[in-house]
A and B are shown apart, each in its own frame.
Chain A
Amino acid sequence: MIYATPATGALGLLVLFALILSGVRIGAALGLVGLGGLAVVLGPEPALIKAGVVTIDTLTRYELGTLPLFLLMAHVFFAVDASRDMFDVAARFLGHRRGGLAYAAVAGCAGFGAINGSSLATAATIGSVALPEMRRRGYSDALATGTVAAGGTLGQMIPPSGALIVYGIIAETSIGQLFTAAIIPGISQALFYFVVIWLLVRWKPGVAPASERAGWRERWESLRRVWDMALLIAVVIGGIAVGWISPSEAAAIGAAGSLLIALVRRRLGWSMLFSAFEATLKTSGMIFLIIIGALVFSVFIGVTGLAEAASSGIAGLHLGPTGTLVVIALLLLVLGSVLDGLALMLLTTPILLPIVESTGMSALWFGIFITRAMEMGFVHPPLGMNLYVIQGVAKDVPIGRIFKGVLPFLASDFVHLFLLILVPGMALWLPSVLR
């Protein structure tokens, strides 16, 4: 074990960056560096056997069932036009106010985020419904696109969240507690976006004209189309929060409920089911590979003692808990502007988690914090993926205008992230009350 030193870990990290930037798939890069590093440190035989153990353990892990079943629920809901129904409700209740459709887009993203754990999917689906409507009613392109790009990130935070499931598996933290901890940060993030829209509309009223008021009959009609989904979401998220069901059971109930809703709406057919299965299998396969790679990589990092060395190095700077967490936040934001969200989480968790724990924060809090930082990477120019997804929906809007539109929301994200550091109770209070 002469090579089991932090320097070996740091070298592995450099090789990993080089592989990822040269286009090697993230899961394979993580796994190959982990395997290669373990082969150098422990020898080829233990490295291969460890990889075999990790693979079988991961693929037969009960908690991992949570991910594909929530994905199945989301794909079935895509097929029943859930995104349009969610946006319609919010638009009919808020659309008559100045900037009302922008509020509705954020609310629609929050609602859709509760049935789908992906930032990109939320931005794309709500964007395809909300953007044409906002532009038709004279909203400025910058406000319309910025709102949906930022709102889309709620999909990652509002439970059930794919990122939190993956984090729970990697950091061996309760997925149920992570979902509960994400509720207040998710809601407060949406409220921050409401404040941004309110301020923008007060400052420049011309960016979001008021529309006609929908009658109560229309409002009830729109509510009638979502009550079943709302009830299912309440059972799934509420059931986990109060400990009535485990996240895996909640995912199964969510998937069963979505299929039942599709059946009642006469949308459940063989071709729809095939498409939902295919999309679910592909997405879950993609995430499983990254998880397996990340687990092998984290074993390697653990053996080299890199995390402990980094932790002592940062402690030696005497920055104090808040200073340390601010430095970590900045590091995540810098890395998040060049790395894919999941890669950022899986690459940095084994190294940063011990440092965070040394400041007195828990793995539960760090899960919410890193997910929040990840979300910011999705709207961070120049590489934020949500911005390009939105440009795909509104092809005639220049990317520069989308960058400009998202900046006020990004500024509110910075404030929100800093608030999460200053007031950890935002994430930790609810799980402690409902435990």
Chain B
Amino acid sequence: MTALHRIGVWIGGAALLAATAIDTIAVIGRNIGLPIIGSIELVQTAVLVSGVFGLIFATWGEEHARVRILTDRLPRAGALADIIGPLSMALFFGCLLTGSLWLASDLWSGHERSEVLGIPWGALRLTANLGLAGCVLASLAVLFRRTQR
């Protein structure tokens, strides 16, 4: 396990803990007359951070769901699927990244912010785009790993 992997798990885990704490405190606060303003926006940010790390780890660890009914029974199809699988993942993540970057560049000058706390959307989009780029790299690394076998 690399140090990068450990750091990623702790950051993603910290985001999960943050979402847990914020929503729990929000419920308690609401019931004792001290509502937490903007808790939803904070949880959204935490969900984004944990989500991008989740996508990267699932891609790197080849955890994404697939149907094996044919590929497990036909060795040549299985070998082909070993290449097509990560290649299609890289292509899909690449398309998502392109679309998301396109959107970010269109909206960059608008300086969007969240309604209650004013969290800059540019930062959230940057996080998502870095995560998607990480997924493209992880897919290509899986492809490389497969072709070296």
Contacts and interface: CB of A to CB of B under 8 A. Distances in A.
Nearest to B44: A60
A19 B23 CA distance: 40
Say whether chain B's binding surface is mostly helix, strand, loop, or mixed.
helix
A282 B54 contact: yes
Given A49-B103, A60-B44, A284 B124 contact: no
Interface string A59-80: 1111011001100100000000
Contacts of A284: 50-51, 54
Given A48-B98, A60-B48, A282-B58, A338 B27 contact: no
A340 B99 contact: no
A342 B96 contact: no
B99 A53 contact: yes
A339 B55 CA distance: 22
A252 B128 contact: no
Interface stretch (A21-29, A208-216, A362-370): A21-29
B67 A288 contact: no
Contacts of B46: 65
Interface string A206-231: 00000000000000000000000000
A245 B24 CA distance: 10
Interface in A35-94: 35, 45, 47-53, 55-56, 59-62, 64-65, 68-69, 72
Interface in B25-41: 26-27, 40
Contacts of A24: 66, 81, 84-85, 88
A287 B112 CA distance: 29
A286 B65 contact: yes
Contacts of B132: 55
8 tightest Cβ-Cβ pairs between the two chains A and B = A23-B81, A52-B99, A285-B54, A277-B13, A285-B58, A252-B23, A52-B100, A48-B99
Interface of B: 6, 9-10, 12-13, 16, 19-24, 26-27, 40, 43-48, 50-59, 61, 63-71, 77-78, 80-82, 84-85, 88-89, 91-92, 95-96, 98-104, 124-125, 128, 131-132
